[in-house]
Structure 1
């Protein structure tokens, strides 16, 4: 049972880093990005391309892809998010859904349908583990969890201890009032989009290292990110991490009970939290990152 709990917590680290960008973007813009999973898969393909074409070290390639995703975030915010949010919530949802369809099919045309993985590029790290008595802990899973904590901790420090972070929080709370005190809401949203997409780049790299992926792997990643974000909805920046761990634990425990229990248990926990919030009157994606109480 201890092994199941440990594996669930480590899986939760991946879900937390996957959900961070989704929750952050929603908090700042009130925009639910349905292309979130597709961009994570695109990031994984970018890393594979850099390793194949240029022979780069995979971790250097990941760093370059994270920066590239930040630039893509700026472009997508100006060309897609900003115009669509002016048309209301429904238009923004439709715009990001269309963007996800375009990305998925474009990746299929460019990369084909074969599954890919970053495992061949990272050597022993893809399967190596530490032996702790009768317990085996995967090194990659631990690194992913540490990365999730580092990302969330970095966001916490950025948003609470820098002027730009406070400007982003003020824009999220009330963009019109923020503009009256000298804050440029458009600039704040653009920077927030770049940050969110950089976390997506990290999530895509984690996906590529821990599993195989195809051009159409984005949808399940979006669902996992959404579930973790909803489960972790709280007034703390660490809500995303808690939501990811709860989802990971429920899935690993469910898998021990039944072969289909991995998805069923995760969905049951998600719907239990969802209905609890519906009837409790507090349903929301976590504005967790931008709350004063972090």
Structure 2
């Protein structure tokens, strides 16, 4: 049963990786930008949630609900003001810009929060697990992360398939020039895609 347990735990961990990869793939697939600061934004979101919890004493779930929309707004504004302008110069410029953002975020977090490790206080949930068999148990935290990833990915697929802005995002991802000719405001669409990417990375963080 050890191999079954390893497979199950790997699947649970895959849910977390899917959350991280979701935003990265959207930004690259639609805007054609490799965000080198993607992981740093996830860590920044986690620290921001930690600040929200420590100052307002709200539950972790509510902190995530607060931080994710803030990051979505940050993604839209950042894409319109920073990423889009660097794209207008050269696609390679975005690599320098996102790398610079990565360095800034890392050093800012080091200054304000030090190099000490921090964690969310979720009580007994951190060690609680669902025992499936005597040899197999699944941690509730891992299960929550996996379910969140599945729900988020399904919701995102439905959004891209069944909404007008979702179809515009797919059109811009397939052919930006044709989308512009068809009347799609690609800059706005890119901003929405960046908002989704940053919102998902905040949830992952």
Establish whether TM, by shorter chain, passes 0.5.
yes
Task: Determine if the alignment matches structure 1 residue 56 to structure 2 residue 55.
Answer: no
Match of 2:123 in 1: 123
The SS at the match of 1:32 is coil
Cα separation, 2, equivalents of 1:31 and 1:108? 26
**Greater mean alpha carbon deviation, residues 62-71 or residues 174-183:** 174-183
Task: Determine if the alignment matches structure 1 residue 104 to structure 2 residue 106.
Answer: yes
Structure 1 gap ranges (5+): 205-294
**C-alpha contact (below 8 Å) 2:80/2:187 kept by paired residues:** no
For 2:27, which of 6, 25, 28 is the aligned residue? 25
Please, what TM-score do these two structures have when normalized by structure 1?
0.67
Cα separation, 1, equivalents of 2:38 and 2:165? 24
The 5 Å alignment of 1:222-233 reads none
How much does 1:81 deviate? 0.8
Match of 1:45 in 2: 47
Cα separation, 2, equivalents of 1:57 and 1:7? 26
How much does 1:59 deviate? 0.7
Task: Determine if the alignment matches structure 1 residue 2 to structure 2 residue 7.
Answer: no
The SS at the match of 1:137 is strand
Please, what TM-score do these two structures have when normalized by structure 2?
0.96
RMSD value over aligned CA atoms? 0.9
How much does 1:176 deviate? 1.9
Tell me the alpha carbon deviations over residues 3-32 of structure 1, each in whole angstroms, 9 at most, x when there is no partner: 111111111111111110000100001100
Match of 1:157 in 2: 158
The structure showing larger relative contact order (alpha-carbon pairs under 8 Å, at least 6 residues apart) is: 2
Cα separation, 1, equivalents of 2:11 and 2:72? 28
Cα separation, 2, equivalents of 1:25 and 1:193? 6
The SS at the match of 2:102 is helix
Cα separation, 1, equivalents of 2:81 and 2:113? 25
